[in-house]
Structure 1
Amino acid sequence: MYAKYLKELITKKRGLGGVERVALTEECSAMLQNKSPPKLKDPGSFSIPCHIGALFIDKALCDLGASVSVIPLSIYKKLNMGELKCTTITLQMADHSIKYPLGVLEDVPVRVGKFYIPVDFVVLDIAEDNQIPIILGRPFLHTAGAVIDVKKGKLTLTVGDDKVAFSLSHEMKSSMQEVSCSLIAFNAKLPNSYSRNLSNNALGLKGFAGDDDPGDAVDASPKVGTRDSVLEGTGFGAPDR
């Protein structure tokens, strides 16, 4: 209606005349009023439950950024689904490190809801992530006819005429809680005077004996390791967690 009105004005087939009301579509109204949709937060990555043989996986990461589906060596051993097929592919991780797969496990039936989806898994010798142990990449999502509505938090899989939908709202809104555990290891046994110094420091005391005693010097620099630093080497990275 609005486009027709403008066309008639431009071609001089219609005069402005008096007061006239023109109905605008929602899109035209938003454009003329310079309205933009409200900004939304990052929903994070999302996962779905699935079964592989007798193994139940509560959270399998659905990753449109992954060109292959990945499982760690430990899960491959649990599945006991035959030998790996040799491969010459290499994988570049998000941190740009290069991983060399042990092989490919072909045509693994992954049960998602009532569907069995055949998946080729690339097996990597990496530590198993307790929260998200496997990655389902684009080939899986393509085969399963996945339609993802990020705003509504809904994933729909279509096989033939059948569909199954998963509500991802809870998964996407609830961030996983990271359990951080730090370990402090000293390089040498501390002499008694150094231990007393540490105790006095904790109590806020100054002027204690042994400050200038070179014989008490020791390399006691703490080495701190965190769970996060270990996770960086898994290749799974953090699942928009």
Structure 2
Amino acid sequence: MAFIEECSAIIQNKLQPTLKDPRSFSIPCAIDGSKFFKALCDLGASVSLILLFATRKLGLKDIQPTTITLQLTDRTIQHLIGIIEDVLVKLGHLYIPVDFLVLEIEEDVDILVIFGRPFLVTSGIIIDVKEGKITFKVGEEVVEFNIFNAIKHLASSISCFRMDVDDEDKGMLISPPISDQAPSFGLNLPPL
């Protein structure tokens, strides 16, 4: 009987269309006045993480040492630098305190902040995968992000906040904007 129903659905074209992949859920946020355009919301993470590189750029110095180790998705074990408690994260007009574990890995990663389940519960997150919307609700205050628009925006605009080229080691340094104003675009290259 099920086979006949499946064939009938195919013949009558009643199948639900396949929708586009929303990718990972990343949102814009601000920490201490610096904007992060891609902070990952990870329901699989039991903790919130921030890279040591980002804490130095933000000037966050109250890192308490810890002996916690973390197993990453690629099965590697990472020793954490420490923990920073009650960091205020701005989502739209909401301010939410977060406890971050500080991880030291390569600086050239795309995601500097990962929000784990404790933050997502505290912020009252509602994820609508089909509509591509993430809603944060704290008390009566609500902030909503459209993931599909964010993906289009990130793909269509490339930002360069600052790039320094050092002749000795060919290293790069990218700095986030300090103010709430739109970032300035500048590229300083040494003369040829």
2:29 to 50, 67, 70: 50
Point out where structure 1 has 5 or more consecutive residues left out of the alignment: 1-29, 178-241
Residue number in structure 2 paired with 1:171 = 150
| Higher RCO, 1 vs 2 (CA within 8 Å, ≥6 residues apart) | 2
Query: Is the counterpart of residue 40 in structure 1 residue 19 in structure 2?
Result: yes
Instruction: Please give the per-residue CA displacement for 1:180-202, whole angstroms capped at 9, x wherever unaligned.
Output: xxxxxxxxxxxxxxxxxxxxxxx
Structure 1 residue 113: Cα displacement: 0.4
Q: CA–CA distance in 1 between the matches of 2:76 and 2:109?
A: 22
Q: CA–CA distance in 2 between the matches of 1:176 and 1:102?
A: 33
SS at the partner of 2:75? coil
Q: CA–CA distance in 2 between the matches of 1:128 and 1:57?
A: 15
Residue number in structure 2 paired with 1:126 = 105
2:124 to 128, 145, 160: 145
Question: How many pairs does the alignment contain?
Answer: 148
Aligned positions of 1:77-92 closer than 5 A: 77-92=56-71
Contact 1:46 1:171 survives alignment (8 Å): no
SS at the partner of 2:110? coil
Instruction: Please give the per-residue CA displacement for 1:7-50, whole angstroms capped at 9, x wherever unaligned.
Output: xxxxxxxxxxxxxxxxxxxxxxx99x655533334321121111
Structure 1 residue 54: Cα displacement: 2.3
- Residue 153 of structure 1 aligns with an amino acid whose one-letter code is G
Contact 1:108 1:120 survives alignment (8 Å): yes
SS at the partner of 1:107? strand
Q: CA–CA distance in 2 between the matches of 1:175 and 1:114?
A: 21
Instruction: Please give the per-residue CA displacement for 1:170-215, whole angstroms capped at 9, x wherever unaligned.
Output: 33568869xxxxxxxxxxxxxxxxxxxxxxxxxxxxxxxxxxxxxx
Contact 1:51 1:112 survives alignment (8 Å): yes
Identity of aligned residues (%): 50
Residue number in structure 1 paired with 2:73 = 94
Q: Which structure has more helix as a fraction of its residues?
A: 1
SS at the partner of 1:126? coil
Residue number in structure 2 paired with 1:115 = 94
Instruction: Please give the per-residue CA displacement for 1:65-122, whole angstroms capped at 9, x wherever unaligned.
Output: 1111111111111222332122232111111000110100111000110011101111
Structure of greater Rg: 1
SS at the partner of 1:155? strand
SS at the partner of 1:151? coil
Instruction: Please give the per-residue CA displacement for 1:124-146, whole angstroms capped at 9, x wherever unaligned.
Output: 11123453221111111111000
**Could you tell me the TM-score, scaled by structure 2's length?**
0.68
**Could you tell me the TM-score, scaled by structure 1's length?**
0.55
